[in-house]
Amino acid sequence: MEKKISAFTRAVHAGDRVKAPSAIPVTTPIVTASSYLYERAADLDRVFSEEEQGFAYARYGSPTVNALESLVTDLEGGFGALATCSGMNALQVALQVALMDRRKSVVAASALYGASIKMLQTVFEQAGVETTWVDVCDLAAVEAAISASKPGCVLMETISNPLLRVGAVDRVAQLTRAANAALVVDSTFTTPLLMRPLELGAHLVVHSLTKYLAGHGDVLGGIVVSDQAHFPMLRTMAKICGPNLGPFESYLAMRGIKTFPLRMERQCANANKVAAALAVHPRVSKVNFPGTSAHPDAETVKRLLPPGLFGAMISFEIKDAGQPEIFAFMDKLKLILRGTSLGDVHSLLLYPAMASHRDISPKQRERLGIGDNLVRLSVGIEAVEDITADLEQALR
């Protein structure tokens, strides 16, 4: 007679590990398992040794996260990807992979997100990685910096944060490859809809999933997409260091990506109109937006970005304003959210001196052209007349 299984044991095992039906779900399921089993130990051994495809432990890979990675890899035209717990972690991993078997030296764009600058200054430089700062929109300066410092890696953004300069990714890639270095590109502001840096010669592309790709302000995550040469080390970083994104966040990011091209097209169209309205406003002294004919990188914009799709970020300076006047302007906003992110469906306004570039010294901000009268606007999908009306009333 078969021994009756205790209620304690049934509570632990009953209902689990049931063979899935043959039906295929229309969306990617959320799989939370941290470990996986096979009918035979030899099968698990082959998965561990990568002789067969499969899952063994969630740090090595899991179904929901892998689905997200496959999706973004396809969008970027890459070889493989690693989803991470934040955009900054994705950048850290990308730089570590790029420098793994190269000289510990970086040539970095002087105009970067403030946290990216601090990462190079306080993490990588403290670990012995030298950083040379350069204006990546000045190709002669980039070539000179690469020649002088012989870097293992070059780092740039597709559209710089927050002044929205557009570097010639393809030409920087040529200079980087000629020096046997790796080009890491933060493509958060452009997304794969506007630019695919791997197709322009980059080796590793980074996104903050939190921003345009997920797009709804409910995900913290990042992703690195790589070429074939750097993919094995990228996956090794996942296995050894464990920066992996979780399945719930991966599902939300993947759900957001389904509509990101629609959102991005709408946001770009809105930004074109908002930038035009700000350009003629009497209280605005300067507008930074890649879609203007007077943009300093207009030739590069025309060559690398699709017609009419210039991104949905705008930064602008308010005449004769300091922090008190900027705070008063922000406090008067009714529709536009005073948030510390970007790329959401709703419009978000940020004060770089207080938020994105807070940890950068005032003198360094001044050298970069980030004044105390500069604000950064992430244009959302609202009706554009409502966005411009809110700016108009707040600027009075």
Give 236-256 pLDDT, tens digit per residue: 999 999 999 999 999 999 999
State the pLDDT at residue 2.
61
Helix, strand or coil, per DSSP, at residue 132: strand
Calpha distance 290→154 (Å, rounded): 23
pLDDT digits (tens, 9 = 90+) for 167-223: 999 999 999 999 999 999 999 999 999 999 999 999 999 999 999 999 999 999 999
Residues 96-110: what's their mean pLDDT? 97
Residues 14-30: what's their mean pLDDT? 85
43, 46, 59, 286: the catalytic one is: 59
State the pLDDT at residue 357.
85
State the pLDDT at residue 13.
85
Q: Would you call 269 exposed, middle or buried from its count of C-beta atoms within 10 A (0-12, 13-18, 19+)?
A: middle
pLDDT category, 21, cuts 50, 70, 90?
confident
Calpha distance 288→368 (Å, rounded): 14
State the pLDDT at residue 360.
78
Distances (CA, A) of 256 to 67, 69, 98: 13, 14, 29
36, 165, 171, 186: the catalytic one is: 186
CB 302, CB 195: distance < 8 Å: no
pLDDT category, 317, cuts 50, 70, 90?
very high
- Higher pLDDT among residues 225 and 364, named by residue: 225
Domain 61-257 has CATH 1.10.3470.10: no
Q: How many CB atoms lie within 10 A of CB 128?
A: 8
Calpha distance 57→33 (Å, rounded): 8
171, 196, 211, 263: the catalytic one is: 211
Q: What percent of the chain has pLDDT over 90?
A: 87
Calpha distance 56→238 (Å, rounded): 13
Domain boundaries, the chain: 61-257, 260-395
CATH class entry, domain 260-395: alpha beta
First to last CA, the chain: 86
Q: What percent of the chain has pLDDT over 70?
A: 99
Task: Reply yes or no on whether 186 is catalytic.
Answer: yes
Query: pTM to 2 decimals?
Result: 0.94
Distances (CA, A) of 212 to 207, 246, 335: 9, 19, 19
- Higher pLDDT among residues 358 and 309, named by residue: 309
- Six-digit token pair at 171? 């030409």
Q: Beta partners for 318? A: 284
| Average pLDDT along the chain | 95
- pLDDT of 1 strictly over 60: no
- pLDDT of 9 strictly over 90: no
Q: Which residues of 189-341 form beta strands (DSSP E)?
A: 204-208, 222-226, 284-288, 313-318
113, 212, 251, 351: the catalytic one is: 113
Least confident of 64-78, 318-332, 357-371: 357-371
Task: Reply yes or no on whether 211 is catalytic.
Answer: yes
State the pLDDT at residue 285.
97
Helix, strand or coil, per DSSP, at residue 377: strand
Task: Reply yes or no on whether 36 is catalytic.
Answer: no
